[in-house]
Amino acid sequence: MSRKKVAISVGDLNGIGIQLALENHTTISKEVEVVYCIDRNMLEQAAKKLNLPIPADFQTMEDIAEHFEIEPGVVSKESGAYAYASFVRAVELARNKEIDAITTLPIHKKAWELAGVAYKGHTDALRDFFDAEAIMMLGSPKMYVALFTEHIPLKEVAGSINEKALTRFLIDFYRTAKPSTEVGVLGLNPHAGDDGVLGTEERIIEKAIENAHKELGTEIFSAPLVPDVAFTPRVRANYTHYIAMYHDQGLAPLKALYFDEGINVSLNLPILRTSVDHGTAFDIAYKGVELSSLSYLNAVKYISDN
Ligand SMILES: NC(=O)C1=CN([C@@H]2O[C@H](COP(=O)(O)OP(=O)(O)OC[C@H]3O[C@@H](n4cnc5c(N)ncnc54)[C@H](O)[C@@H]3O)[C@@H](O)[C@H]2O)C=CC1
Ligand SMILES: NCC(=O)COP(=O)(O)O
């Protein structure tokens, strides 16, 4: 079978992404044909700073964005602009069907903001580019967590839980993630509201689950789970897929358990996009630190497997 073709956006060049790309090129090339959304000049600059060789078959492309001086670990407008342009190029290649899928290396959200990018992250941007309700799901085959709300301030979470939006989310999630066993849906409040004593959002969640079950014709979603026990080992034994009401409700337990191996997948889009689950790791960028590559390798593997 021929290898799938994948475009890698290089993320924030002041961070660890380009080290991961250079160090793992030979490994991932065995599974997929890979092109990198970085130009030769910036690649040579990064490789020199990392003291790493550039593999002979490392395919680059020109005219991504303005060149700039890489400053390891620094949040910069220039690096943010390059990271965004690299991502946009990868998306264009996917949209034009020149490649089969994209894998994104990590960007820095403040650097995007400094560069005038209106999006909080890749998923947010993809939602707009494709006018589709992209779903952010992170994890590994042992445990995936999809996020109903993601990059919004915590104080806005409760007000975002509405029946229509959650019903749509559950239906889209079921159709695109295709879970084969019951999905654990988390409540929002302590003790899932304790029958209204500690909050009432669970009533909305229950109604959305009921609506989704009617539409889907299958009772695939659990009743709202008590969040503080949902990830204990005995409860985890019942679920491979969870739906969290907000970012840290799902990602704190997920990363505590599976940070190294976890990936990020964008569901419900016309293109396939995967990513590492970690960020730019500015604290260790260009310092000769041995990185964990598992998330990156798994993000690419997900594409060759799907
Ligand atoms: N896919 C993406 O584009 C993502 C971007 N981010 C962004 O990255 C920036 C930095 O985020 P942080 O919260 O500091 O999280 P981070 O994941 O960059 O770092 C957290 C800790 O994990 C370590 N770490 C991360 N990846 C590692 C690897 N592959 N090997 C070894 N150690 C590793 C770092 O050194 C740090 O100590 C933020 O702007 C955040 O929004 C965060 C997650 C995903
Ligand atoms: N917490 C996940 C994250 O920050 C990555 O988001 P995205 O760039 O995949 O939208």
ipTM: 0.99
133 alpha carbon – ligand 2 mean position (Å): 15
Closest ligand 2 atom to 123 CA: 10
Q: Is the pLDDT of residue 1 over 80?
A: no
| Domains along the chain with CATH numbers | 1-132+269-306 (3.40.718.10), 133-268 (3.40.718.10)
- Confidence at 226, pLDDT banded by 50, 70, 90: very high
In single-letter form, the type of residue at position 86 comes to S
The single-letter DSSP state of residue 226 is P
Kind plus residue range of the DSSP H or E element containing 275 = strand 272-276
At residue 2, the pLDDT reads 84
Distance CA 26, CA 7 (A): 15
Helix (H, G, I), strand (E, B) or coil at 258: helix
| Residue owning tokens 């304790």 | 194
At residue 113, the pLDDT reads 98
Q: Is the CB of 295 under 6 A from ligand 2?
A: no
166 in Cβ contact with 202 (< 8 Å): no
The 10s digit of each residue's pLDDT in 2-43 is 899 999 999 999 999 999 999 999 999 999 999 999 999 999
Q: Is the CB of 298 under 6 A from ligand 2?
A: no
249-258 contact pairs (CB < 8 A, 24+) = 249/186, 250/138, 250/145, 250/146, 250/147, 250/186, 251/138, 251/145, 251/147, 253/145, 254/138, 254/139, 254/143, 254/145, 257/142, 257/143, 257/231, 258/139, 258/140, 258/142, 258/143
Percent of the chain residues topping a pLDDT of 70: 100
pTM of the full structure: 0.97
Mean pLDDT of 128-146: 98
Alpha carbon 287 to its chain centroid, in Å, reads: 25
The 10s digit of each residue's pLDDT in 185-223 is 999 999 999 999 999 999 999 999 999 999 999 999 999
Q: Is the CB of 275 under 6 A from ligand 1?
A: yes
Q: Whose CA is nearest to atom 6 of ligand 2?
A: 121
Closest ligand 1 atom to 109 CA: 39
At residue 176, the pLDDT reads 97
Q: Considering the chain, what is the average pLDDT of its residues?
A: 97
The 10s digit of each residue's pLDDT in 48-87 is 999 999 999 999 999 999 999 999 999 999 999 999 999 9
